[in-house]
Structure 1
Amino acid sequence: MKRRTLLRGATALGAAGLAAGAAPHTAAAAPSPRDDGAPFRVHVVLFDGVEELDLSAPYEVLAASDYFTDRSVDVRYVALDGPRTVRAAFGTTLRVDHAWAPEQADLLVVPGGGYARRDDPGVWAEIRRGALPRALAEAPRPGLTISALCTGVMLLSAAGLTRGRPCTTHHRARQDLEEQGGLLKNARVVDDGDLVTAGGVTSGLDLALWLARRELGVDTALGLEAMLEYEARGTVWTARPRPA
């Protein structure tokens, strides 16, 4: 018996309770998830100076989603110059075993970190270096969703991916995002189809729960909320029309 089956049973009562007031935080219902048997492939992008919570919250939520869906979910850390060891903002070191390969992903998740420390490793250093923004600019293709949270959104901005599009970021970077051409929305998560962005550090939980809901279904998101003992918070702005 799969471990996900046991977890489904263990969280059934909690998920049912959540379902009674399902997703009051969302602006519109999520579209029907794809159900063609293909795995859902998630690449979480790491770089030196990345924020620990930014990288771990989406990874854990999306990796755990495999317990609540029959669709296979593969979540991995990648680095542009990987495989290598990455040193995060507060000194955590992580071994990244996978190289940059957005053509092999259905979803990219770009965390933030170090935006306020312009001389240290982090988002500003990556923007100055230029290699990661260039790689992100070249990544879009049909079937790929690019997402970012916190100041990771500023890496997408440096890549030109947020210009003229609805988006959000950490509150201290919102003015920069808007000045660089982003259409700022005052929402926890902003879903513009193949571009999904989220606010400050803890919004990685809400970003991942929304993406799990969108890609894998409402039951998956409810199971995750029950397991994590966390209910998604804030408004999700979405360009998708509400189903009739």
Structure 2
Amino acid sequence: MHVQIVLFDGFDPLDAIAPFEVLHAGGTASGGAVSVELVSAEGPRDVVSGTGGLSLRTTGTLDPSCPGVVLVPGASGRVGDPADSADREDDDTQEDTIPVLLGRALETELPGLLKTAMEDTGITVATVCGGSLVLAMAGLLHRRHATTHHLGLDLLDATGVHAVRARVVDDGDLVTAAGVTSGLDLGLYLLEREAGPQIAHAVEELFAHERRGTTWRPRGLQPAAF
């Protein structure tokens, strides 16, 4: 399994680094069955995050035809009102809000590349936190089941997505995770799903992190009202 973690200007570092470390450790534990790299729509470059000017260097260009996983992090910045994001584009004091940062990502080649990836049956698209909002705002998640940070669930629902309040949501070739620290749980779940539970357990022990919550899937009995 090869995983491409896609960075864009204003990304949240923990959304990217948490799954990167988990998956990299999974590659070591599996003897190379898992590999991971940082990529961008533009190719190798220094990408500035939305947290204190911290930057990470991507080593490749997002390849939407490469089998495996494409993982999209969210943005890091001040919380703003998504409904007002268009108006705030012209307001310098609002340039670091999450809606504006996500909106700028939509103005790059990233949405087109993600659309191509989602149309490929050999690729699973995964997201952490606001990464699902990037897909949803690009019109790529209509009627799909997904989650995001709890503050963004209403926006996710407004785009025609079946928003689920869960730590990790597995909708087949779309796997989404909630708030920023859920990137650890997403990485471990992907390891379990693709490389097996023994690999995932070994990394879980190494990281001294026990996964939280049940991974939600659109199957099984429907729960009755409590």
Equivalent of residue 139 in structure 1, options 117, 122, 133: 117
SS of the residue 1:238 aligns to: coil
Amino acid at match of 2:49: A
- Partner residue, 1:108: 70
Amino acid at match of 1:163: H
Please give the per-residue CA displacement for 1:74-104, whole angstroms capped at 9, x wherever unaligned.
2000000111110111211212110121212
Give, in angstroms, the shift of residue 41 of structure 1: 0.7
SS of the residue 1:236 aligns to: coil
1:238 aligns with 2:217: yes
Matches of 2:126 and 2:198, distance apart in 1: 22
Amino acid at match of 1:170: H
Write the mapping of 1:168-187 to structure 2, written as runs, cut at 5 A: 168-187=147-166
Q: Is the 8 A contact 2:64 2:116 kept in 1?
A: no
- Partner residue, 2:91: none
Higher relative contact order (CA 8 A, sep 6+): 1
Identify if the C-alpha distance between structure 1 residues 105 and 159 changes in structure 2 by more than 3 Å, giving closer, same or farther.
farther
SS of the residue 2:6 aligns to: strand
Write the mapping of 1:21-100 to structure 2, written as runs, cut at 5 A: 40-70=1-31, 72-90=33-51, 91-100=53-62
TM-score, normalised to structure 2, is 0.84
TM-score, normalised to structure 1, is 0.78
Identical aligned residues as a percent: 40
Write the mapping of 1:196-211 to structure 2, written as runs, cut at 5 A: 196-211=175-190
Q: Is the 8 A contact 2:66 2:123 kept in 1?
A: no
SS of the residue 2:71 aligns to: strand
- Partner residue, 2:171: 192
Give, in angstroms, the shift of residue 130 of structure 1: 4.8
Q: Is the 8 A contact 1:114 1:124 kept in 2?
A: no
Give, in angstroms, the shift of residue 71 of structure 1: 5.1
Give, in angstroms, the shift of residue 47 of structure 1: 0.7
Please give the per-residue CA displacement for 1:188-222, whole angstroms capped at 9, x wherever unaligned.
00001100111011010011111110000010111
Q: Is the 8 A contact 1:193 1:240 kept in 2?
A: no
Gaps in structure 1 of 5+ consecutive residues: 1-39
Q: Is the 8 A contact 2:8 2:47 kept in 1?
A: yes
- Partner residue, 1:125: 104
- For the aligned residue pairs, the C-alpha RMSD in angstroms reads 1.8
Identify if the C-alpha distance between structure 1 residues 195 and 151 changes in structure 2 by more than 3 Å, giving closer, same or farther.
same
Identify if the C-alpha distance between structure 1 residues 41 and 240 changes in structure 2 by more than 3 Å, giving closer, same or farther.
farther
- Partner residue, 2:134: 155
Gaps in structure 2 of 5+ consecutive residues: 86-94, 222-226
Would you say how many aligned residue pairs link Structure 1 and Structure 2?
202
Give, in angstroms, the shift of residue 160 of structure 1: 2.3
After alignment, is 158-167 or 108-117 more displaced? 108-117
SS of the residue 2:65 aligns to: helix
